[in-house]
Amino acid sequence: MIPAMRDVIVAANWKMNTTPADAGELARTIASRTREPGVIRVICPPFVCLAAVRDALAESDPDVAIGAQTVHHELAGAYTGEISAPMLAGLATWVIVGHSERRRDAGETDELIGRKLTRAVDAGLRPILCVGEQLAERDAGTQEAVVQRQLTGALAADDPERLAAAGLVIAYEPVWAIGTGRNASGQDASAMADAIRDALEAAGLGAGAAAATPVLYGGSVTSANIGEFLAEPAIDGALVGGASLKPDEMAGIVSRAGLTARARRAAA
Ligand code: PGA
């Protein structure tokens, strides 16, 4: 599979930032500054801002997709403070699953993340599954084994072909690069993308579907370093945290993604 066939995606992970009063305006501003043919844009605001972002984008730029930052692994019940996949109907069409901050702060395991994936896909949400190693694991040279174990664990309980058909996206986010200003090299990200597609195949995905699965890089992505990642044919975009709250940064990142999208189309 040539990369020309894969989506180019820039996803904004706003984390625990913005309020219902200001999220719509920020989304509108980012949308208006990131119109690039061929680039899929996704904005993932906090749950309480989803409706404001939806309403703002419905008027100004319905091409921008909206995602949630996580979802619960059960459908309904006594889970105080949680949000289930069916509750996102009409609010979001994408969802981030297994972000390292949730693995760290909410104790999410690969098995639990797999259940979330299933719920997301059952509800028609397109999932972005996050994987990535800790610094000590990279220093020990075990990063590929760690990421492959995370993938295998998260995909074990569902049919990988079904997840791929639902548009599964993998985000490789080395934990030591998230919010630290330190980023992996393009080469490291590319090598990991290859390892990720190998793991998808090992998990039971056909070679074609594994090769067609978009892999994003995440971890201190900015307009200044996005080019290093998108220069790698194995990388299909970015999951952006801190810089995704800054319209100037998003404009630069999506503009660079537009170059990749155009080059892929020309090569197709
Ligand atoms: P960062 O976050 O860009 O602020 O490093 C990325 C992420 O956590 O998705």
Catalytic residue among 36, 72, 73, 99: 99
How far, in Å, CA of 217 to CA of 178, rounded? 11
Is 201 labeled as catalytic in the residue annotation? no
Structure tokens at 75: 């459908």
- Enclosing H/E stretch for 196: helix 186-202
Instruction: Let me know: does 120 contact 95? Beta carbons within 8 Å.
Output: yes
Of 172, 173, 253, best ligand 1 pocket probe by most atoms within 8 Å of the beta carbon: 173
Residue 77, both tokens: 């019940």
Best mutation site among 105, 170, 221 for ligand 1 pocket (most ligand atoms within 8 Å of CB): 221
Closest to 245 measured CA to CA, from 25, 21, 9: 25
* Ligand 1 surroundings by CB, under 6 angstroms: 13, 173, 178-179, 218-221, 239-243
Instruction: State how far the Cα of 232 lies from the Cα of 220, in Å rounded to an integer.
Output: 17
DSSP characters for 117-158?
HHHHHHTTPEEEEEE---HHHHHTT-HHHHHHHHHHHHHTTS
Residue 72 annotated among the catalytic residues of the structure = no
Q: Which residues contact 262 (CB under 8 A, 6 or more apart)?
A: 37, 38
pLDDT by residue for the chain (268 residues), tens digit each?
A: 556 689 999 999 999 999 999 999 999 999 999 999 999 999 999 999 999 999 999 988 989 999 999 999 999 999 999 999 999 999 999 999 999 999 999 999 999 999 999 999 999 999 999 999 999 999 999 999 999 999 999 999 999 999 999 999 999 999 999 988 888 899 999 999 999 999 999 999 999 999 999 999 999 999 999 999 999 999 999 999 999 999 999 999 999 999 999 999 999 8
Burial of 222 (0-12, 13-18, 19+ CB in 10 A): middle
